[in-house]
């Protein structure tokens, strides 16, 4: 009899937000903690986030940092408001319209913003680490808790680069590898610190917007350039103060008197030859192995890279400066009567230029970029004919944002986007246990263009109608971000011209 009178609320609710299809009992949440069963209804646990332009009494926008101080998350009445995909729910696998399709009037132009949380199985994180410290060889495995979550990729100018995630690590390995990879990406994208180890390389700590920590040492400077660039920049400032400068660098070590920059200021040959493979005049590759020493090499004594000193060219009293590409390592020598370099106190005029190298080095930071493909099923939540959305995005008729932040859409097929997570509100990302990452995404387009896309015109609601029945959290709009709804007016002006 008790079974017959069981409350309907005691029956589990099936969550269809991802393929796991959790059966959630009353008062509990699913495996991802994003959805719960309350009174027999499936509820998104986190509030939907709106970004608002906060104005002062003069109608000027208050800077983001100032507006963020003591922010309690309350919605500001009458403030220009953009509904983000954070907390918006998903309609995976998008056999139905997106959770929110918002209609609005922007400067007399009817606009539509389609708002959703995308489930991204095909996604990754690109990490830029500003340092000349050696982190590991290409393409060494990057590991978290012993599981490979990515690899070292090609170094760029003054930065080491990591590729984290991707569908192969999410789904192509063991269950543990997939879960660790998903968790690593989510933490990186949510601006948390993540400890990683690199095979045959370093132990590093990466956090978006923070200095990297390499083998327990917090990096301070991003190098001003390679050795050759450093010589090129500062050659005139060394003129008459030294007879030779050697800039030690993991990639391109430079010798000033041989370099074209030295020729430009009429420096005579100094007769000091360095190890390594000579490239063009004054530029040497492979002067030492990679490491944590000078300029990203394994050198701790800079004289170790000197191969020989030619007695037919060099002279006693010759002034030699050796310096790294960040200026953090430097030493000044003078040759004695036997042409042996003897370390001396650095003259003030030389020290000024060494300090200037450091001054021109930008602070070392970690940059985390989320990269994902907005695939067919996600697009189907926007339009009945997904390819039209792709074409509209490529023609810039449709503006794509993630949590209100501007994105870069890659050329070529599909909607493959790249976004700086530091430009997004905190805790923008979630996950589903498939495993896959969940990221906010918004498509903003003129209403007439949306209709031509085959959009769900009958599902359009005003912002007020949508927010009336939603838990809402407000964050200040980043003042340097373009306002997505302006795309309609801009297109009209372009057409008029």
Look at strands 416-420 and 405-406 and give their pairing: unpaired
Residue 5: band (very low, low, confident or very high) from pLDDT cuts 50, 70, 90: very low
Residue 7: pLDDT over 70: no
Residue 255 lies in a domain: yes
Residue 3: pLDDT over 80: no
Residue 3 lies in a domain: no
Residue 258 DSSP one-character state: T
Residue 212 lies in a domain: yes
Residue 28: pLDDT over 70: yes
**Nearest-angstrom CA–CA distance, 203 and 216:** 8
Q: How confident is the model over 68-79, as pLDDT tens digits?
A: 877 777 888 788
Residue 99: band (very low, low, confident or very high) from pLDDT cuts 50, 70, 90: very high
- Mean pLDDT, to the nearest integer, of 244-249? 96
What pLDDT is attached to residue 6?
46
Q: In 296-320, which positions are buried (b, 16+ CB within 10 angstroms) versus exposed (e)?
A: bbebeebeebbeebeeeebeeebbb
- Mean pLDDT, to the nearest integer, of 462-484? 92
Residue 299 lies in a domain: yes
Residue 250 lies in a domain: yes
Do 83 and 201 lie in one domain? The reply is no
250 Cβ partners below 8 Å, 6+ apart? 132, 134, 288, 290, 295, 296, 297
Angle between helices 227-238 and 348-359 (to 10 degrees): 140
8 Å CB contact between 296 and 288: no
What pLDDT is attached to residue 133?
87
Do 154 and 109 lie in one domain? The reply is no
What pLDDT is attached to residue 64?
82
Q: How confident is the model over 172-186, as pLDDT tens digits?
A: 999 999 999 999 999
Do 249 and 180 lie in one domain? The reply is no
Do 203 and 187 lie in one domain? The reply is yes
Residue 245: pLDDT over 90: yes
Query: What Å distances lie between residue 351 and 77, 200, 223, 237, CA to CA?
Result: 57, 36, 17, 11
Boundary-marking domain end, from 191, 218, 245: 218
First to last CA, the chain: 76
Residue 1: pLDDT over 70: no
- Mean pLDDT, to the nearest integer, of 116-124? 93
What pLDDT is attached to residue 4?
44
Percent of the chain past pLDDT 90, that is, above it, reads 74
- Mean pLDDT, to the nearest integer, of 231-248? 95
Residue 390: pLDDT over 50: yes
Residue 1 lies in a domain: no
Radius of gyration of the chain (CA): 29
SS3 38: strand
Do 353 and 232 lie in one domain? The reply is yes
Q: Minimum mean pLDDT among 20-34, 220-234, 349-363, 450-464: which range?
A: 20-34
Boundary-marking domain end, from 335, 359, 383: 359
Residue 9: band (very low, low, confident or very high) from pLDDT cuts 50, 70, 90: low
Task: Write down the mean pLDDT value for the chain.
Answer: 92
Q: In 194-204, which positions are buried (b, 16+ CB within 10 angstroms) versus exposed (e)?
A: bebbbeebbeb
Do 280 and 352 lie in one domain? The reply is yes
Q: Minimum mean pLDDT among 390-394, 420-424, 488-492: which range?
A: 488-492
Residue 454: pLDDT over 90: yes
Q: Whole domain around residue 145: which residue ranges?
A: 126-218
Q: How confident is the model over 287-297, as pLDDT tens digits?
A: 999 888 999 89
Do 252 and 355 lie in one domain? The reply is yes
Look at strands 436-446 and 109-120 and give their pairing: antiparallel
- Mean pLDDT, to the nearest integer, of 408-428? 96
How many distinct structural domains can be found in the chain?
4
What pLDDT is attached to residue 8?
54
Residue 382 lies in a domain: yes
Do 82 and 185 lie in one domain? The reply is no
Do 317 and 411 lie in one domain? The reply is no
Compare 46 and 260 and report the one with higher pLDDT: 260
Do 211 and 257 lie in one domain? The reply is no
Residue 424: pLDDT over 70: yes
What pLDDT is attached to residue 96?
84
Tokens of 11: 């029956």
Statement: the pTM of the whole predicted model exceeds 0.95: no
What pLDDT is attached to residue 94?
64
Residue 190: pLDDT over 70: yes
Boundary-marking domain end, from 200, 218, 236: 218
Do 182 and 291 lie in one domain? The reply is no
**Nearest-angstrom CA–CA distance, 162 and 140:** 10
Do 69 and 94 lie in one domain? The reply is yes
Q: How confident is the model over 39-53, as pLDDT tens digits?
A: 888 888 889 999 999
Residue 2: pLDDT over 60: no
Percent of the chain past pLDDT 70, that is, above it, reads 98
What pLDDT is attached to residue 65?
79
Residue 277 lies in a domain: yes
φ/ψ bin of 327: left (φ > 0), alpha (ψ from -120 to 50), beta (otherwise): left
- Mean pLDDT, to the nearest integer, of 140-146? 98
**Nearest-angstrom CA–CA distance, 430 and 438:** 5
């Amino acid at each position: 009899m008790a079974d017959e009178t069981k409350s309907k609320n005691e029956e589990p609710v099936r969550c269809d937000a991802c393929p796991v299809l959790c059966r959630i009992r009353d008062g509990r949440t699913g495996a991802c903690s994003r959805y719960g069963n309350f009174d027999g209804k499936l509820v998104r646990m986190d509030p939907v986030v709106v970004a608002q332009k906060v104005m002062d009494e003069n109608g000027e926008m208050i800077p983001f940092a100032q507006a963020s101080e003591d922010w309690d998350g309350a919605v500001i009445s009458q403030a220009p408001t953009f509904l983000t995909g954070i907390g918006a729910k998903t309609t995976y696998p998008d056999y139905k319209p997106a959770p929110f399709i918002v209609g609005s009037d922007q400067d007399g132009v009817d606009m539509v913003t389609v708002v959703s949380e995308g489930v991204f199985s095909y996604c990754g994180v690109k990490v830029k680490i500003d340092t000349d410290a050696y982190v590991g060889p290409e393409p060494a495995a990057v590991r978290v808790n012993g599981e490979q979550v990515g690899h070292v990729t090609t170094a760029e100018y003054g930065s080491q680069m990591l590729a984290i995630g991707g569908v192969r690590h999410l789904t192509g390995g063991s269950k543990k590898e997939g879960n660790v990879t998903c968790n690593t990406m989510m933490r990186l994208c949510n601006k948390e610190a993540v400890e990683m180890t690199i095979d045959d390389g370093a132990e590093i700590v990466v956090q978006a917007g923070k200095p990297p920590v390499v083998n327990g040492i917090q990096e301070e400077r991003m190098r001003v350039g390679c050795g050759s660039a450093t010589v090129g920049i500062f050659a005139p400032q060394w003129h008459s103060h030294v007879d030779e400068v050697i800039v030690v660098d993991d990639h391109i070590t430079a010798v000033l008197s041989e370099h074209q920059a030295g020729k430009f200021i009429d420096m005579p040959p100094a007769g000091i030859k360095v190890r390594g493979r000579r490239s063009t005049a004054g530029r040497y590759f492979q002067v030492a192995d990679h490491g944590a020493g000078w300029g990203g090499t394994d050198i701790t004594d800079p004289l170790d890279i000197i191969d020989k000193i030619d007695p037919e060219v060099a002279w006693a009293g010759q002034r030699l400066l050796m310096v790294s590409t960040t200026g953090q390592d430097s030493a000044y020598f003078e040759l004695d009567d036997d042409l042996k370099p003897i370390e001396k106190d650095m003259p003030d005029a030389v020290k000024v230029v060494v300090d200037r190298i450091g001054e021109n080095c930008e602070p070392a930071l970690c940059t985390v970029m989320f990269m994902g493909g907005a695939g067919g099923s996600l697009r189907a939540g926007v339009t009945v004919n997904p390819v039209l959305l792709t074409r509209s995005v490529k023609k810039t008729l449709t503006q794509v944002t993630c949590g209100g932040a501007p994105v870069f859409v890659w050329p070529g097929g599909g909607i493959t986007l790249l976004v700086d997570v530091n430009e997004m509100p905190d805790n923008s990302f979630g996950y589903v246990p498939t495993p896959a990452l969940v990221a906010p995404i918004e498509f903003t387009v003129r209403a007439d263009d949306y209709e031509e896309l085959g959009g769900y015109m009958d599902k359009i609601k005003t912002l007020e109608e949508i927010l009336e029945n939603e838990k809402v959290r407000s964050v200040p709009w980043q003042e340097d971000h373009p306002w997505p709804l302006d795309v309609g007016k801009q297109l009209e002006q372009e057409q008029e011209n």
